[in-house]
Amino acid sequence: MIPLVSPELDRYLLELLPARDPVIAEMEAAARERDIPIVGPAVATLLATLAESIGARRVFELGSAIGYSTAFFARAVGPAGRVLYTDGSEKNAREATGYLERMGLRDRVDVKVGEAVQLLESTSGEFDVVFIDIDKDGYPRALEAAAPRVRPGGYLLADNVLWSGRVVDPSQKDASTEGIREFNRRLFARRDFKSVIVPLRDGVAIARKVPV
């Protein structure tokens, strides 16, 4: 495993961030204690900032877990916006709903339980932002489903695209690593998006759909 930045730099980046509100801090503690995958405060701040930068009002998350990134997106879209939460676990969805209610954000979020790509395919319309954070072997399929649904000028975002450095280790041939590699290849081959990977935390793909 290859660290993207030194532990000292990672700690420095996190210490620069303002203190989170008590519910967000509680979610972070739960994630640490129970090994729940969340994007963490630095990546969540990046996601929310990108959404705010284009005035996003409609966001679709593929893979939301306990709703950590959902909360940041919900704040970014404002009272008139909507975030579509998806997760395969009823338990995660109930926990996320509780957190969102306590933060006064529940009315901005549609909670959907099931397979994320199928839920995207069954939901109509375009989105300002689509965020991919599901099982990594499913990333290529998620890309093909999500790319046409991003409106021109909108963002397709994905977490874990450097996969702790496994993407550059030729000995790593498991389904998750191959899924991330294939996702990255396909994303950067698309001419309808301008794409970059930011080596923050575990690597964040930022792809903006070329305006028509």
- The CATH number of whichever domain residue 75 belongs to comes to 3.40.50.150
- Residue 183 is part of which domain span? 7-209
Pairing of strands 150-159, 109-113: unpaired
pTM of the model: 0.96
pLDDT at site 5: 84
Residue 60 lies in a domain: yes
* Residues paired with residue 131 on neighbouring β-strands, in sequence order: 61, 157
Summarised one tens digit per residue, pLDDT across range 98-125 is: 999 999 999 999 999 999 999 999 999 9
Q: What would the 3-class secondary structure string for 110-132 be?
A: EEEECCHHHHHHCCCCCEEEEEE
Structure-model confidence comparison of residues 3 and 39, the more confident one:
39
Q: How many domains does the chain have?
A: 1
Residue 1 lies in a domain: no
Residue 179 lies in a domain: yes
Q: What would the 3-class secondary structure string for 19-30 be?
A: CCCHHHHHHHHH
